[in-house]
Amino acid sequence: MVIKFVKSIFRFSHSVPVEHRKNFWNLYLDIGWYGVLNGTTIAFLSIYAARMGASAGQLGLISAAPAIISLFVALPAGAWLKVQSTRKAVVWSTISFRVFYLLIILLPILNGLISSRLQVGMITGIIFLMSIPGTALSISFNAFFSETVPQEWRGSVLGIRNAIFAIVTTLSALLAGWLLDSVVFPFGYAYVFGLGFLGAVMSSVHLFSIHPPLNQENATNRQEPKLLKQIFLTLKHQLRPNIFEGPFRTTIILLFLFHLAQYLPIPIFPIYSVNVLKLNDQVISLGTAIFNLALFLGSTQFSRLIRRFRSPVMTGAGMMILAIFPVLLAISRGAPMYLLAHVIGGLGWSICASSIYTYLYESIPDQDKSIHLAWFNLGSNAAILLGSLIGPLIGELIGLQPVLFLYAIIRAAVGYTIARKG
C-alpha cells in the first residue's frame, strides 16, 4: 500500500505544472518531517505529563494554552500578515515557535533535579510561550498554502500531505514506543523528544525552500514606524462588521462548534488511558500508530470522496465518525478495544483533516484572505479554549466514563448539524 502510494505521488507530480513541482515536493517533505514531530513529542508530551502526575484539569490547561494565547494574538497577527510577506511571516514564526521543542528535551534529562509538580508547570509555561509565535505560524501558513497551491490542486495536495503525515507519524510513534520500552524511565522520553526536535528543524528547512508563485500580498520594505501604523490600520479594518456577511458567517459558527466538540474530551483521553485503563507506553504508541495508519488509508481516498460529496458534508460525516472514539474508549477494558477506537478515530480524522480546510477556503473571498483566516483562527481557538477547560471540569463532576458518552453525543450532534447546514 505504501509503495503504491509513493508511485501515485510520482504520477501526480508529472501532471503538475513545472512551476509548482518544487513547491509541492517541499510541502510533502515539510509534512513528512512534521509527522516525526507529531509521532514523538506532540503524541507523548501529554502522556509524559500524566505520568508526572498531571490532573485532567492541568492537561486541559496544557491543551488550552495555545487557544488562550491565540485569543490575544490572532487579530494582531492577522494584521501583521496583511502588511508582511507571507513567506517571511512563515519563516520567522516557524523559527520562533519550534525552537521551544529544544527546551522540552531537557525535562526528562533533569528529572532528578526538578520535581514532578514543577515539570508539569514548566510544560505548561513552555506551551504558553511557544503559542505566541505558534499562532502567527498557524495563520500565516494557511495563507501561505493558499498562495502556493492553486485552487484546482488543493484537494489533491491536501490529501497527499495528510497521507504522508499519517505514514510518518505511524512509523515515528512505533519507534517512540520501542524507545520508551527499551530505555529506563524517564530518559526514554529524552530520546523521543530529541527525535521530535529533529523533525521540527527539518520541517522548517523545507518550509524555507517554498516560494509561492501566487503571492500577491508581498509587502515591500517599509520603515518600522510606517509598518506599525499600517498594522494598526489593518487591525482596525479587521473589526468591520461586513467580514461576517455571506457564507463565511455560517462557516465560522459551524467550525466553532466543530472545534468545541473535538476538544471537549481530548484532555480526558490521556488520563483515562494512563490512570483508568493502566496502559503502558508501548500500547499507547501502538494506538497512535494505528490511528495514523487509518488516517493514511482514509486520506488516500479523500480526492475521490471530495469529488462526490460537498466539503461540509464530508466534515460533518468525519465528526460523526469521531463520535465513536470516546464511546469505544469508555467501554474498553484493555488494549484490544483501545486499539479499535484508534482505528475508527483515524478514519474519522482522515475525512475531517482535509475537508475542513477545503470547506473553509470555499467560504473565503480571494481578497482579504489573511483577515478571514485570522477570524477563523480566533473562533476556533476560542472553541478549543472553552472545550479544553470545561471538558475536564464536567468529567470531574459526573465521572470520566459517563462524560465520554456525553461528549460522543455532542460530537455526533455537531457533525449532523454541519452536514445539514454547512
Q: What's the mean pLDDT when you consider all of the chain?
A: 83
Q: pLDDT band at residue 223, thresholds of 50, 70 and 90?
A: very low
The total of other beta-carbon atoms located within 10 Å of residue 371's CB is 25
Q: How many helices (H) and strands (E) does the chain have?
A: 19, 0
How many residues are recorded in the chain? Answer: 422
What pLDDT is attached to residue 85? 74
Following DSSP, what letter does each residue of 364-398 receive, concatenated? S-STTHHHHHHHHHHHHHHHHHHHHHHHHHHHHHH
Rounded Cα distance, 220 and 227, in Å: 10
| Region 254-280 average pLDDT | 92
pLDDT of 127 reads 93
pLDDT of res. 357: 79
- pLDDT tens-digit profile of 271-322? 899 889 989 888 999 998 899 888 888 877 766 766 677 888 889 999 999 9
Whether 3 has a pLDDT exceeding 70, the answer reads no
Residue 227 has pLDDT above 70, yes or no: no
List the alpha helices (DSSP H) in 209-263.
Answer: 224-238, 247-263
Q: Per mean pLDDT, which range of 106-110, 292-296, 313-317, 403-407 is the poorest?
A: 292-296
User: What is residue 224's predicted lDDT score, i.e. its pLDDT?
Assistant: 46
pLDDT of amino acid 77: 67
The answer on pLDDT for 409 being more than 90 is yes
Report pLDDT digits (tens) over 68-99: 887 777 667 666 666 667 788 888 889 999 99
User: Would you state the pLDDT for residue 156?
Assistant: 77
What confidence score (pLDDT) does residue 310 get?
83
Strand intervals (E) in 268-337: none
pLDDT of residue 126: 94
Q: What is the mean pLDDT of residues 388-404?
A: 92
Contact 133, 252 (CB under 8 A): no
Structural domains in the chain? Answer: 16-211+224-421 (1.20.1250.20)
Determine the pLDDT at residue 218. 45
* CA–CA–CA angle 257, 260, 266 (5° rounding): 150
DSSP 183: S
349-373 confidence digits (pLDDT tens): 988 877 887 888 788 776 666 677 7
Convert the pLDDT of each residue in 199-222 to its tens digit.
999 999 999 888 887 554 444 444
SS3 250: helix
pLDDT at 215: 52
Q: Confidence band (pLDDT; 50, 70, 90) for 164? A: confident
> What is the structure's pLDDT at 239?
56
Report, as an integer, the average pLDDT of 13-31.
80
Least Cα distance to 81 among 365, 381, 373, 366 occurs for: 373
Q: Per mean pLDDT, which range of 20-29, 223-232, 240-249 is the poorest?
A: 223-232
Give me the mean pLDDT over the 93-115 stretch: 90
What is the C-alpha separation between 144 and 330, in angstroms, rounded? 40
pLDDT, greater one: 350 or 191: 191
Given a cut of 50, whether residue 115 has pLDDT beyond it is yes
